[in-house]
């Protein structure tokens, strides 16, 4: 990359530490919140620079909800983020495999779990737990995987609302990545990567930190 485009150059700089990756991610979200996105790394030169390899500085594992498109809310471009999304950010083996690939082969220094308020998958799970009526088809699989988070939230506070359940679900999802994957756990222990959990606010576009494992201090 040349230094002629400041915004592009800033993001294409290899991210050495989890803290630097975290700072870049939060800077991008701040620009998005302020409606001053710079849309970095989205031109032909960037596209050409990525032909033979990629070095994303984060892997974003978020809910599939159309309102929290990962590259948009963090003001990113091509090659910046490795993205995995499922409804309610539920984990299965292929999700873990995708995350492990990003850590093992792409050396991403930051794993982001991204939930959001008014999450339909968590709301459906809250309803299923309350009524005992499970949804049809493979949607049931989503609900079953979110149920532990909803139950934990209800155990802490029988009157907990969907927002509290979503925070709990982000925390549990982030913690489970480290518990279930020796590759991720090893990278965290060696301080090669950090895991953060964020909840995204639909109304103002802000992503708030609710969980972290690994130092984010510069
Ligand atoms: Zn959702």
Instruction: For residue 190, report the distance from its CA to the centre of ligand 1, in Å.
Output: 32
pLDDT of residue 15: 57
Give the distance (Å) from ligand 1 centre to CA of residue 117. 8
CB 81 within 8 A of CB 74: yes
Compute, in angstroms, the gap from residue 16 CA to the centroid of ligand 1.
31
Q: How far apart (Å, rounded) are the C-alpha atoms in residues 99 and 111?
A: 8
Question: pTM (2 decimals)?
Answer: 0.92
Centre of ligand 1 to C-alpha 88, Å, is 5
14 CA distance to ligand 1 middle (Å): 31
| CA 118 – ligand 1 centroid, Å | 7
**Token pair in block for residue 28:** 């991008």
| 3-state DSSP assignment of residue 218 | coil
Q: What percent of the chain has pLDDT over 70?
A: 93
Q: What spacing in Å lies between the alpha carbon of 95 and ligand 1's midpoint?
A: 16
Rounded to 5°, angle at Cα 65 from 118 and 88: 70
Instruction: Tell me how far the alpha carbon of residue 76 lies from the centroid of ligand 1, in angstroms.
Output: 21
How many Cα atoms are found within 13 Å in the side-chain-facing hemisphere of 145? 17
pLDDT tens-digit series, residues 11-65 = 445 557 999 999 999 999 999 999 999 999 999 999 999 999 999 999 999 999 9
pLDDT in tens, 119-170: 999 999 999 999 999 999 999 999 999 999 999 999 999 999 999 999 999 9
Distance CA 125, CA 145 (A): 9
Residues in the 5 Å CB sphere of ion ligand 1: 63, 65, 119
How many A from CA of 87 to the centre of ligand 1? 6
User: Ligand 1 centre and the CA of 9: distance in Å?
Assistant: 33
- Rounded to the nearest whole angstrom, what is the distance from the C-alpha of residue 91 to the centroid of ligand 1? 13
pLDDT bracket for residue 199 (50, 70, 90): very high
Q: What is the pLDDT of residue 16?
A: 74
The mean predicted confidence, pLDDT, of the chain is 93
Strands (E), 48-107: 58-63, 81-86
> What is the pLDDT confidence band of residue 218, given thresholds at 50, 70 and 90?
confident
Contacts within 8 Å (CB) and 24+ apart, 64-71: 65/116, 65/119, 65/120, 67/116, 67/202, 68/114, 68/116, 68/200, 68/202, 70/114
> Could you tell me the domains of the chain?
6-213 (3.40.1050.10)
């Amino acid at each position: 990359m040349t230094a002629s485009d400041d915004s592009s150059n800033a993001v294409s700089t290899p991210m050495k530490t989890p803290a630097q990756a975290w700072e870049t991610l939060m800077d991008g979200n701040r620009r998005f919140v302020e409606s001053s996105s710079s849309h970095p790394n989205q031109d032909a030169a960037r596209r050409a620079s990525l032909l033979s390899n990629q070095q994303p500085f984060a892997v974003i594992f978020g809910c599939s909800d159309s309102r929290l498109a990962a590259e948009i809310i963090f003001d990113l471009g091509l090659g910046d983020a490795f993205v995995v999304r499922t409804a309610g950010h539920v984990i299965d083996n292929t999700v873990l495999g995708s995350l492990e690939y990003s850590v093992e082969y792409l050396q991403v220094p930051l794993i982001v779990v991204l939930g959001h308020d008014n999450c339909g998958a968590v709301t459906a799970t809250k309803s299923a737990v309350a009524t005992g009526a499970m949804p049809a088809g493979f949607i049931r699989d989503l609900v079953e995987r979110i149920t532990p988070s909803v139950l934990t939230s209800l155990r802490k506070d029988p009157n907990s609302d969907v927002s509290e359940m979503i925070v709990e679900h982000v925390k549990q999802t982030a913690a489970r990545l480290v518990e279930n994957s020796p590759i991720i756990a090893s990278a965290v222990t060696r301080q090669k990567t950090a895991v953060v959990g964020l909840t995204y606010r639909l109304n103002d576009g802000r992503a708030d930190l609710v969980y972290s494992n690994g130092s984010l201090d510069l």
